[in-house]
Structure formats: structure tokens, C-alpha cells
Structure 1
Amino acid sequence: PLMEAILDAGVPYISGPQWLAEQVLRGRWVLAVAGTHGKTTTASMLAWILEHAGRDPGFLIGGAPGNFSRSARLGGGETFVIEADEYDTAFFDKRSKFVHYRPRTALLNNLEFDHADIFPDLAAIETQFHHLVRTVPRSGRIVVNATQASLDRVLARGLWSACDRFGADDGWNVADVAELPECSEFSVVRAGQILGRCRLPMAGAHSRLNAVAAIAAAAHAGVDPAQAIDSLARFAGVRRRLETRGTVAGVVVIDDFAHHPTAIATTVDGLRARLTPGQRVLAVLEPRSNTMKLGAMKAQLPGSLAAADKVFCYTGGVGWDVSAALAPLGAKLRVESELDALVAAIVAESRSGDRVLVMSNGGFGGIHQKLLDALARRAGASA
């Protein structure tokens, strides 16, 4: 009703991204972090690197960065880090939000099909990324994931700025990895030259690539890579990214925002890399995103969850046959349509040393606390 009244009255209106570009980003050195996965974590890393370097950056991040008390601030410095989303701008502007931001540094982390509710296919999303690339000035820089054929196609359509590649031997990369229980240690390499040894308090190959991408983007803004590497040892992560919510009787309940098959797989793999023999991953999934509810990626889910020891899936609000889609997982799969029944099944299966990995892009009906409470009741009853 409000929008109809505005249209009837002929009152001027503007989209949020356009307002942001005109009122906040104009005149700033914008560092935009785009990609299907890793935007929040990589943008948080980049903001922290700039903060640690004394640049007092502004930022707008679609999550809760652990090194800051808020998700957005204006900042007093020249730089502004923004999580650049490919979702459409508004009902009257179907371009991706990020085309409004005019970055001087554009970090393209990865690109897969997502948002099936607005994009018909991957090619349509590649077109939007091409539009983003066109907005980067000649004096700017594209920092691009070299492992993504989709991004190769985007840049093949036109590139008018300098380009740094990460994840490739001829660009920025990771070497000599040691996955430790509390962190990842690795060398940061550029064109074969070791720039330093990074100690990152996060697990998984995807986290290491995110870090290298942030270091490369910060270098374009003038931060010495050695200083950026040093800052990441104090990176506090992001809420809902392998975030421990509690431990009861040796069972650890972990929360993660993963909701795309690739993110699910990298999250499970990253967690498993930190476990010792005998410890299990109990994956708990809520297919809640619009793309998941449409079933556009259901065929990819069994492979994404294959590394988990047990898989529990909640079917509330899902319009496709979850049991059939996940049948390749066999006996390790449990499907429930009621949340309390799901909690009971997880608690009955869990034992000391297990990691219960809850993955959803929503609140999942408060399942984390429900699990912790049920585990506590079980522990009390057996005491």
C-alpha cells in the first residue's frame, strides 16, 4: 500500500543501492567484494586489514564481523569496503545491486548459479558480473579468482582495468599449508615469491583463498602485504561461519550460514579438517533459501553432504521430495518434517566428540538452543 501511494502521488523515490552510491560511496575508494560465496567473510577480512593498517575504513557487511562492534560504519578514511550482492536492486530496477557501487577495487571471488527466483541460468548472472566489470575505471583493479571458468568467461567479454588473479601460480596463491586444530598456517605467494607466513584462525581451503584475495585487494589500496598477513592472525571471524554455539557433554553445536551446495561442501570439509580420528560430523540442514525451496540444486546436495558421518534434513516448507533427492546418502540420512522430532533424532545419535553442524540461512526455529537444552537434559538424566 505504501509503494502504491507513492506511485499514485508521483513522489520521487530511489532504491537503497542507488541512495548508498550517491550519499555514502561517492568520492570514496570503494572496494567491492562480489561472488556467490565468501562475500561476508572476505569483506570482513578486508575491512580488518585496512583497520589494522590505520586506514579507518568505512564498511557495509551483510553479517556480524568479529573485529568490529557493528556491521556498518561510515569511517573517517578514504576507503570503503562493501559486500557487493548480485541480487536485483528493486522492483523497478532489475540490475544487480553491485552495478551502483562504482568500485575502484572489485574483488570477484567466485561465480556459480544461485538465486533461481530471479536468474534463469548462470549466463544471466555472468552478464551482471560483466556489467560490474564495466563500471571499474581504467585506474582501478579487478582481483579475480583464477579457478573459476565462469569468471574467465566474464572477463573474456571485456576487461578495461588492471587484473590480479588469485588461486593461480602466476598470481596470488597459497603454499605450504598446515591445517592445525586452532588455525591454518600457510605461505602467501605472489608470482612465485613468498611474501610471508599467515596464521589464520579459520579452517578450510576456501578460507585460505578468501584471505589471499583480501590481501591482494588491500595491496591495491596501498597496504603492504606483510602488514596484511600479520593482521589476519588477529582476524576474529564472522558470526554464523563455523560459530560454536555451545558444548554439552563433549558434543559441540556449531552454526553456519551455508545454504548453497558448494558452501555446504566446503563448510563440512573445513570442519572435518580440524577433527581428530574418531570425531564425527553430524550435518543438520535446513533447505531454506528461495533457490533451495525451488529445488533448483537438489541434485547437488548428496555430493555436498557426502563427507558428513550423519546427515539430518528438515523438510518444513520444502516443496520437493527431500528423501528421494538425498537417497544416495543411504543409511546415514535422517529426514524429519517436525523440528522437535529432528532435535530428538540428533540428540539420540550424538556422542562425546561429535560436532553437530547446523546449516541454514535463517534462524532454523531456534534449533541450536533446542539441541543444547536437550543435550543438557540427557546429560543430567545420566548423571
Structure 2
Amino acid sequence: MSHLFSSLQIRNLFISNRIVMPPMALDIATETGEVTSKLIDHYLLRARVYPEQDPTMKWRGRAGLGLIIVEHAYVNTKGQVHPHQLGVHKNSMVDGLKKLVTMIHKEGVPVGIQISHAGARALHSPSAPSGIRSPYLSRFGQKQEETGDPPSELGREELRRIVADFGRAARRAKQAGFDFVEIHGAHGYLLNQFYSPLTNLRGDEYGGTLERRLRFPLEVISTVRKAVGVNMPLFYRLGADDRLFGGNHIHDSVEATPRLREAGIDCLDLSGGLCGYLKSGPEGFFAYMASAIKPVVDIPVMVTGGIKTRSTANEIITSNTADLVGIGRTLLTDPAWAGKVWQESHSRREFIFS
């Protein structure tokens, strides 16, 4: 039976335990998207195995995080959502990202990066599947609501350019040394906007049925897979439930996820759809998504959702609800959480490490 400190392999990526730091937007890059020392320090603080742990421990490699996913980086300037958001939109970004990766790798933690396009939530000149103002997205304070202008509807040529930009961004991530790439398809960003019937009102091959609403995300996945090659793992953050009347619900994602797998995804990172990531609720409030989706796919599933305690995190793994747990806001307030949990489990002799 797997537990919180069991290892896991995804393609050529070895993960020493099941604790993941999920992507969380910091807005501390430069105005043009470059890595800053403050951003590097943020990740290093959470990647380190802390000095209070006995350095002679045989299994100290499992004591920290199993995996880090760096916050979403925009694939082109029209896809930027925050003024100081991290970027992966041009070749000059690679050196800074490479420095970030190198520093994290020195701490013994694998690291990936999430790539995204904001769509209707873009900071400047928002564009979207449909040229409509969305009250569901306005709760994020997007620019279009402030100006009163709806986003422009994306044409086929623009869609082709965005798909190509995702591919180029993934290639840069690989050049920078990241161990994997995660495509952002949740939280009301562009791919989620195509997936949701609340924001996709198109009448062409990219809108209408679930199959058509998936067409654009699948094109992005296919292009990114080609860009990173056959060995590099590819994650997808899926907004598995809009939690809004008329939107996508979990049964839609149960139908959709095998298609994502067929297109080249190696791990599903489940979160909220247009409802966003939520800020409160019982521990593991997105675990129901994994319970429904894991049985229909043969790839690892990760789930987040207000997880704060060792017992909840471990129960999600031991019950086979999910394969990985994302610990987000808890790591923001307590960077040493993963190490403390390992120490407690080790002292209790809870797990047999082999």
C-alpha cells in the first residue's frame, strides 16, 4: 500500500515522496517576466531540508518536498495576467529560469514549471473563446471589467499562434532544465475558458459539445508533447468542476480526462474550474474530484484543496484517492511543513521505508 512517503516514477522522473508544492502565483518577477532573487529565495526556502533534521538519517532524501511546480508563466505577452508575473515567452527568459532550476536541484528536489495564457483575464487586450464579458471571471478583477470592454473573440489564425507559443514556451522550459512541464487548464484561464460552456459560446469546431470544447486544449497538449519529446513528463492542471450552474461538472471531466491521457498527459493535477482555487473549506475539499477521475485513467492523479495536516495528506494517498497531494497555502505560512511531517512520521515509525 502506498503512503505519503512512498516513491513514485512518472516517465523518467523519480519522485521520492508524494508531497508537492503546487504552482502559486507570487507576482514577484520583473515587469517583463524575468526571474528575480526574491523569487529564487522563495522556492529555495521550501526546497531545503531543514537543519533541525538529523543529517545522518538514512532516508533524509524523503524528508522534504517530493516535487515543486513553479508558478504559471505566460507563453506570450498577450497571455499575461499579473504585472509581475513570471514569463517564459521569449528566449531571454531561459538563463534566469535555468538559475532557478539549478538552485532547486542542488537541494535534491525535482522541479517543473506551469505554462499558461490568461485569455479573457489578460492584463492587456484580453481575448477569449467568445467575445463576452463573463460575470464568473470578473470575480478575479480582470481588466475587461474595469474598462467595460469585452474580450475579443479569437480567430483560427490567432489560435494557431497561441498553440505554437505554448510549444515554444515548453521548449524553453526544457532548455532551462526543468524536469517536466505542466499546462494550466484551470482557474478561469484560456484553456479553462474553452473547456467551460459558460465562457465558450462558439458555434464552430471549437465550441458546443464537450468534444469540441476540448479541441483547443488537446491541440495545445499535442504541440507541447512534440516540443518536449517522448521522455519528459507532461502534467495538466484541470479545472475539473466549475462548481457553477450551467458549467462543467465532475461527470464532464470523467469523460474528458481519458482524452487528455490519450493526447500525451502523464499526470493530472486536479483543481477548480471557473470557481478558481477557493480559499476556504474543509481539508481536501477537491478530493472528490480525484475519487471520481482516478478510476478512469491509468496515470497518476494529484489533488490540492486546503490540505494542512499529515493525517489528511496521508489518508488521501493510503485510500488510493490520489497519487500526489499538493500542499499550497500551508507551505506559504510554514516553509518547513514537509520536513516536520517527515520527522513526526519517522519518530512514530509510521511507515516502513524500503
Q: Does TM, scored on the shorter chain, surpass 0.5?
A: no
Q: Where on the TM-score scale, by shorter chain, does this alignment land: which range?
A: 0.3 to 0.5
TM-score by length of 1: 0.30
Which structure is larger by alpha-carbon Rg, 1 or 2?
1
TM-score by length of 2: 0.32
The structure with more strand, counted as a fraction of residues: 1
Higher RCO structure (Cα 8 Å, ≥6 apart): 2
